[in-house]
Structure 1
Amino acid sequence: MRYLRNLTLIVVLGCLVAAPVMADRLKDLARIKGVRNNQLVGYGLVVGLDGTGDSAPFTNQTFRNMMNQFGITLPDGVNPSADNVAAVTISATLPPFAKRGQEIDITVNSIGNAKSLRGGTLLMTPLKGADGQIYAMAQGSLVVGGFGAEGKDGSRITVNIPSVGRIPNGATIEREIASPFNSGDTITFNLMQPDFTTARRVVEAINGKLGPDMAYAHDATSVSVRAPRDPSQRVSFLSILENIEVDPAEEAAKVVINSRTGTIVVGQNVQVSPAAVTHGSLTVTIQENPNVSQPNPLSGGQTAVQQDTQIAVTQEPAHMFKFGPAVTLNEVVQAVNQVGAAPGDVMAILEALKQAGALRAELIVI
């Protein structure tokens, strides 16, 4: 028996209950302009694997180049065993104000057909930035969380990802990145969530703490503050700034629907204009009953199977509920729960309310 019915998704309805607005520190609301992370990447070899390396052509070429750097030339046509070698890419994040000699974590990923990097050691590999300059050198023993096992009959089992590993403090910084922190007469904060009201409140909070005309807003994102030029004074000055408490503005009314997972999140400022909603669904049931037709032994016929298909259509009772003027989020949730709407029905109702202009919120489908 097969059932064809309306798509129903598992839904988590996240309701943000109205609560008193709490002040946030400026460091939690904004980032300093120019103070940022930088990504590094490199290519190298992992050796010492227990027969789980790769056989990619570029792995053999890289191994030959490495041997040539040590003065060892392999004869033409002689390919070293690659069972214990794997070609990998290395990625890392260079934090702001990182100094030469400090160490950072790195992630190592196999780019060939290596089965596992467990037990391997990364050979010295330069890590480059987007400008092509070398900023760190990586080397060390890998920590691999995944593992795999394979039987002689071809069966295998894999837990997590054995072709990816990490090396804590596996790279040493060799080049520093200049920071604009000590340049200019101002420090600019960029809000992580652009909002004109929040930008205005940041300016008011800073001016109230440090004095009038110390801060001014460029737009909904950037707020500049006049700062001393002396580096030591600027550090102390910024320590005061980042701990100033600001009351952020309330978020705009939004309803977010994840069509893949069936998750629905409704913000607390969502309201619904007067509207009447009715919603029902059809269930189509298809049942196949094969019938065997057996001919008479003397008739010369053949046994045949005939399909007897029965199709039934049932319609669930449609529920109707009415929203009054200026309905709040809690009232919307209560009305939907009272009629027992399924997750898929909730999505359909919200989309229909938006099309009708009754949903006073931005509907976002991801």
Structure 2
Amino acid sequence: MIARLLLLAMVLLAAQPAAAASRIKDIAELQASRDNQLIGYGLVIGLNGTGDSLRNAPFTEQSLRAMLQNLGIATEGGRARAKNVAAVIVTANLPPFVQSGMRIDASVSSLGDATSLAGGTLVMTPLRAADGEIYAVAQGPVIVSGFQAEGQAETLTQGVPTAGRVPNGALIERHVEATFNDMLMLTLQLRNPDFSTALRVTDTINAFTNRRYGASLASEQNSRTVVIRKPKGVSAARFYAELENLPVEVDSPARVVVDERTGTVVIGNDVRISRVAISHGTLTVRVTEMPRVVQPEPFSRGETETEPFTVIDADRPDAKLAVLDGPDLQTLVAGLNRLGVKPDGIIAILQGIKSAGALQAELVLQ
């Protein structure tokens, strides 16, 4: 019963109707509107003795001295012994169309041997893009979800205390120039490439533009790309706003995704299995050593000896034979349930079916 509940829970998402309609905005994105990655090096201060060991992380001490000198504080002579400072790498994603003065979230990760960033504050850190220019500056308190408790004989760590976030901590100083409204062609990129889905997106957009503008404006390029010509007399933003909510029936190849580390199995709705017989069970072999003592005959000159005696017993109590023939997902799940196996056994069965050539789907191992 437990195995059935686990398997039904695993395929719950996959058991949706095959012709589920999704909006264009949910299955594709505009090529012009993409994020830009930012990165920077900074310091987190105010830690409660959980910062970098400055002897083991010399770059932290160098950064601390440089920061103090920029603030007009002389740091000549002696070595800093503070444990409340940690060197960090700060990352952020610059969304499209943002303007100067807006705020975005920043992620902070320890670079040295700090044990926790909880309670710390990120000092002013410039964030640069791939072109080397500064696009944002991050500063603010670091929010850490993990924690670490330590005693003399045991240490408990929950989550990752050496990484955190600064919500709305990055202030945009320079925006990326965007000429979206001047674009004459809009390029859609499907998140899950598929030729059938690309054709359906094209046909849906053309059906709308024929009614609205009297012309077919979309054309498919490949399994991922759909190009749309912007009509005259309307801005690109308004035109795409009319298109992004159009419903499209999404198609996808038959696929079985297996994660052997967590025992997760996700079976797509279009997965089929040719008729195949499967035997599954656990073989238990017991080897028992029972040495026996052998006594000599009475009044003989023999000696008492011990001779080996081994008992080997092989048993397969849970062996079952089932015939699987999967014309649809429900039949496949019912066939696997008849075997009464756990998710790790299902993974082994699916790999065996694929090796036998009976699994009519792509098997993805993670």
* Same fold by TM-score greater than 0.5: yes
Structure 1 residue 228: Cα displacement: 4.8
* CA spacing shift, 1:288–1:38, aligned 2, 3 Å: farther
Deviations 1:75-102 (A, max 9, x none): 24x1122222111111111111111111
Structure 1 residue 35: Cα displacement: 0.9
Between the aligned partners of 1:209 and 1:246, the Cα distance in structure 2 is 12
Between the aligned partners of 1:169 and 1:288, the Cα distance in structure 2 is 69
The 5-angstrom pairing of residues 312-327 of structure 1 reads 312-316=313-317, 318-323=319-324, 327=327
Q: TM-score, normalised by structure 1?
A: 0.83
Structure 1 residue 65: Cα displacement: 1.4
The 5-angstrom pairing of residues 11-90 of structure 1 reads 13-14=10-11, 16-17=14-15, 19=17, 21-55=19-53, 56-76=57-77, 78-90=78-90
* CA spacing shift, 1:14–1:308, aligned 2, 3 Å: farther
Q: Is the 8 A contact 1:67 1:73 kept in 2?
A: yes
* CA spacing shift, 1:261–1:154, aligned 2, 3 Å: closer
Between the aligned partners of 1:345 and 1:123, the Cα distance in structure 2 is 52
Give the equivalent residue in structure 1 for 2:148. 148
Moved more, 187-196 or 10-19: 10-19
Between the aligned partners of 1:110 and 1:289, the Cα distance in structure 2 is 59
Structure 1 residue 310: Cα displacement: 5.6
Please tell me the root mean square deviation across aligned C-alpha atoms, in Å: 2.9
Q: Which runs of 5+ in 1 are unaligned?
A: 1-9, 292-305
Give the equivalent residue in structure 2 for 1:225. 228
Give the equivalent residue in structure 2 for 1:165. 164
Q: Is the 8 A contact 2:98 2:175 kept in 1?
A: yes
Structure 1 residue 113: Cα displacement: 1.9
Q: Is the 8 A contact 1:183 1:229 kept in 2?
A: no
Structure 1 residue 183: Cα displacement: 4.1
**Count of aligned residue pairs for this structure pair:** 340
Give the equivalent residue in structure 2 for 1:234. 236
* CA spacing shift, 1:84–1:281, aligned 2, 3 Å: closer
Q: Is the 8 A contact 1:121 1:140 kept in 2?
A: yes
* CA spacing shift, 1:225–1:273, aligned 2, 3 Å: same
Q: Which runs of 5+ in 2 are unaligned?
A: 1-5, 293-306
Give the equivalent residue in structure 2 for 1:346. 346
Give the equivalent residue in structure 2 for 1:259. 260
Give the equivalent residue in structure 2 for 1:363. 363
Give the equivalent residue in structure 1 for 2:105. 105
* CA spacing shift, 1:229–1:288, aligned 2, 3 Å: farther
Deviations 1:140-170 (A, max 9, x none): 122233333444x364433333322322111
Instruction: Give the share of equivalent positions with the same residue, in percent.
Output: 43
Which runs of structure 1 show a deviation greater than 4 angstroms over 4 or more consecutive aligned residues?
A: 10-13, 286-291, 306-311
Amino acid at match of 1:236: R
Give the equivalent residue in structure 1 for 2:218. 215
Give the equivalent residue in structure 1 for 2:186. 187
Give the equivalent residue in structure 2 for 1:248. 250
Between the aligned partners of 1:172 and 1:344, the Cα distance in structure 2 is 48
* CA spacing shift, 1:128–1:210, aligned 2, 3 Å: same
